Amino acid sequence: MESLFRTFDCRNNPSSGFWQEVPSTKTENLVTSTIFGGDLYIFRGEKGLKKKKCVLTNTSLYYLSKWGIPISKSDIRWKIIQPFVEGSEKKPLYGFRIYGNKAEDFYVNNSKDLDKWLEKLSKVGIFGTFDEDFMIIKEINKGTGCIVNLCRCLGDMKEYAVKTIDKCILFSKPYMLQSVEAEISALRTTDHPNVIKLFSVYEDEGKVCLVLEYLPNGDLLKKLKQVKKFSQDDTLKFIGRLLHTISYLHALKIVHRDLKLENICFFSDCIYDFKIIDFGLACIYEHGLSQKCGTIGYVAPEVLKGDIYDHKVDIFAIGVIMFYLLSSRPLFRGKNPQEVAEKNKNCQVYISHFNFKGVSKKCVDLISWLISTNPTSRPNAYEALKNELLDSEKPYCIDLYNLDDTIDVHSFEKRNTCETVNYPQFMRTKVMNNNFLC
């Protein structure tokens, strides 16, 4: 079976060869983006192995002139990487092959150097040796064409959550492939203590595996069921930290688009030790978004109405989460999913502090502000964090107009994916078509 990511690789590497020349007129700033560098040996026909000074960034592999000037590069974000050992037992040759339009072999001095390169390459490319590197311990969760297993890495013996997706399903359902691409691209862009970490990606003949950090303490829905409802103080501290995290994502122009109780998981018993997960609907916000997607009950009204929307849809979802934590019930309720969706779309809710026990009027006013029906009246994360009730720690500044060149914008293009529709009354998730959300 062909590589699932070949189309993406061809998009980033339009030339037929492995390397692309770096124009002398273009200055490549490798200082801030370099994650590793060193000598690699490349086979050059009768000349044998030639030593090249190479640099790895968060998107590409470069080789440099003897003066340290970039000569050629190859975008390896969607290329398969395969380590190998050649030669005899007494004189082994260690290296790795990177597959693309044309494969290229790279040799290193010893096994330690190979391990160093592979560790860094795992943050950029796609590996093809999952069954050799991991042992499955148990199944954690299962969905359509997707299984999440608890696995142990045979290298560092640490435990990871591995999301495994059947390639046959991905080939037959383009929206799922786009979702996988979006999740990989988003998580490789981020580095935040409250965003789940993606350690590596694997692909073989039948499956794609995302190696993620293991979060053993359940999600926010589970925690809410345990405590029934959060206190105002705990809720404000939690929401403050969640807004800080979303402010960070929005500064990268990443809009999550599916914030909900089930997509916030914990790595300890502390309610502040959480991670935002599931970036399958994430996208880059450029000049307005239009695709209807998200989970009913959390979706901003402008999305359901078919209006152009922006990053503030995440703020609306945070307001819904805040209401849920303080009341232990969903903001929008109904006898069936269609009724919930209609109430969500119209957003006709009246919230009074008399409906809550032990919750101040200022706190209820904050919820109302976050879930403002009109997005122009709704704050962004930076503005919300200025509220006197929230953490006074300086938030990440949102800059929606200076996008870092290293972000793969193509991976977050507007997509015609199916929508995740959640019916909060019965805590179940259903996938429905666009007609349901019209």
CATH number of the domain bearing residue 203? 3.30.200.20
Cα separation, 323 vs 316, whole angstroms: 11
Q: How many CA atoms lie within 13 A of 240 on its CB side?
A: 19
Same domain, 209 and 142: yes
Give me the residue label for tokens 């209401």: 323
DSSP-derived pairing of the beta strands 80-87 and 126-127 = parallel
230 within a domain of the structure (yes/no): yes
Same domain, 365 and 423: yes
283-317 per-position pLDDT tens digit: 988 788 999 999 999 999 999 999 999 999 999 99
1 within a domain of the structure (yes/no): no
Q: Compute the residue count for the chain.
A: 438
241-269 per-position pLDDT tens digit: 999 999 999 999 999 999 999 999 999 99
CATH number of the domain bearing residue 246? 1.10.510.10
59-75 per-position pLDDT tens digit: 999 999 888 889 999 99
How confident is the model at residue 384, as a pLDDT?
97
329 within a domain of the structure (yes/no): yes
> Which range marks the domain in which residue 30 is found?
6-123
Same domain, 55 and 179: no
Which residues form the catalytic set? 258
Boundary (domain end) residue, out of 84, 104, 123: 123
Give me the residue label for tokens 């006074």: 392
Same domain, 49 and 195: no
Same domain, 292 and 174: no
pTM of this prediction?
A: 0.85
Same domain, 102 and 240: no
Same domain, 284 and 172: no
Same domain, 233 and 279: yes
Per-residue pLDDT of the chain (438 residues; tens, 9 = 90+): 578 888 788 877 777 788 988 877 666 677 778 999 999 999 887 778 899 999 999 999 999 988 888 999 999 999 999 999 998 778 899 999 999 888 999 999 999 999 999 999 999 999 999 999 999 999 998 877 789 999 999 989 999 999 999 999 888 888 888 889 999 999 999 999 999 999 999 999 899 999 999 999 999 999 999 988 899 999 999 999 999 999 999 999 999 999 999 999 999 999 889 999 999 999 988 788 999 999 999 999 999 999 999 999 999 999 999 999 999 999 999 899 999 999 999 997 878 766 788 899 999 999 999 999 999 999 999 999 999 999 655 444 444 333 344 344 444 444 433 344 443 333 333 333 433 343
Percent of the chain at pLDDT exceeding 90: 64
Boundary (domain end) residue, out of 178, 213, 248: 213
Boundary (domain end) residue, out of 101, 123, 145: 123
CATH number of the domain bearing residue 16? 2.30.29.30
Same domain, 282 and 201: no
98 within a domain of the structure (yes/no): yes
Contacts of 136 (CB under 8 A, 6+ apart): 149, 150, 151, 162
Number of domains in the chain: 3
Contact 121, 53 (CB under 8 A): no
Same domain, 288 and 379: yes
375 within a domain of the structure (yes/no): yes
302 within a domain of the structure (yes/no): yes
Same domain, 182 and 141: yes
428 within a domain of the structure (yes/no): yes
Contact 168, 159 (CB under 8 A): no
Same domain, 186 and 247: no
399-434 per-position pLDDT tens digit: 433 334 434 444 444 443 334 444 333 333 333 343
Cα separation, 186 vs 51, whole angstroms: 34
